[in-house]
Amino acid sequence: MDSTINPILERINPRMLESEPVQRCALSECRGACCVFGVWVDLREVDDIMRNAALILPHMPVNCRVPGEWFAAVEDTDTNSPSGRVIHTAVENRPQHYGSTACIFCLEDGKCALQVAAIANGLHPWRFKPFYCILHPLDLDEDGRITLDLVEEMVDEEGSCVRRAAHKTPLINTFEPELRYLLGEKGYRSLQEITFKRGKIFE
């Protein structure tokens, strides 16, 4: 397979083929820094969440069980979003949470109510989670390709989803769950092959 023409590279920034000294955080150490400011959600995802509100409601914080208050009323454009339109999750003042604010779906223990609801109903953990939540701490570059940026900021953020590591590890290994989910098994295997052919060492 010629990696220079492989279509998977249209979805992946070349940086993701590198190895870097970063590792994931431990769930027990999570402080929900990624939930401080909420997230942009595609209108299709909003509709899906609202249609499944009955499954999600029991897992929401007690004072956040009015579905009509889960999202902001203002829409914005997003060329990387399926519908091209997004709205923001509601953000609450929560002095006890890291950063003193939190997405309305963020629970006291830092977990996401959408993910907890999915698991409780026997679904994939990310069934209700918005795309940008699944993607984090990865990001999209200016061409809409999956990448990792602002690492220095993230590893120095005590509540971040990534930590410094003693040794370099291929980024496609570090972020394997996200890449498998977003690219599919075939896409991820293709990415592994490209990385292997470029001489990267897998741990």
Contact 176, 188 (CB under 8 A): yes
**Are 108 and 149 within one domain?**
no
**pLDDT tens digits, one per residue of 61-95:** 888 999 999 999 889 999 999 899 999 999 998 88
**Are 112 and 167 within one domain?**
no
Return the number of other C-beta atoms located less than 10 Å from residue 59's C-beta.
20
**Are 135 and 118 within one domain?**
no
DSSP 34-76: GGTT--EEEHHHHHHHHHTHHHHGGGS-GGG--GGGSEEEEEE
Q: What is the pTM of this model?
A: 0.86
The residue from 86, 109, 129 where one domain ends is 129
Contacts of residue 1, defined as CB under 8 A and 6 or more positions apart, other chains included, come to 190, 193, 194, 197
**Are 66 and 115 within one domain?**
yes
**Are 46 and 102 within one domain?**
yes
4: confidence class by pLDDT, cuts 50, 70, 90 = low
Average pLDDT, the chain: 87
**Are 121 and 142 within one domain?**
no
**Are 134 and 162 within one domain?**
yes
Query: Structural domain tally of the chain?
Result: 2
* pLDDT of amino acid 181: 94
The residue from 129, 155, 175 where one domain ends is 129
- Mean pLDDT for the stretch of residues 1-30: 78
**Are 63 and 121 within one domain?**
yes
- Residue 103 to residue 25: CA distance in whole angstroms: 20
Q: Which domain holds residue 13?
A: 1-25+130-203
**Are 12 and 61 within one domain?**
no
**pLDDT tens digits, one per residue of 105-149:** 998 888 899 999 999 999 999 999 999 999 988 999 999 999 987
**Are 135 and 169 within one domain?**
yes
Identify which has the larger pLDDT, 199 or 203: 199
Whether 103 shows a pLDDT value over 70: the answer reads yes
**Are 166 and 121 within one domain?**
no
